[in-house]
Amino acid sequence: MIYSLPKLMDVVLLLFIFFFITANLAWFIFKEVSESKGGFIDEYANFSNFGRSLITLFRASTGEDW
């Protein structure tokens, strides 16, 4: 298990880079989208700023609340 930690850190770093780039793009493209009633975009899951964009992408990738 100790030998697999460096490779696991490589995967985590690659995922973080992917999330960082995708969150920036989503924030730039979808920041003007308003909240929908009953939909996925609400006050907690939206792309209004970078932090919310990153959290929304993480929620979507883990399948939470779908």
Report the alpha-carbon distance of residue 54 to residue 18 in Å, rounded: 11
pTM: 0.74
Nearest Cα to Cα of residue 51 among 13, 10, 23: 23
- Write out pLDDT tens, residues 8-48: 999 999 999 999 999 999 999 988 887 766 567 777 788 88
Sketch the domain layout of the chain as residue ranges.
2-62
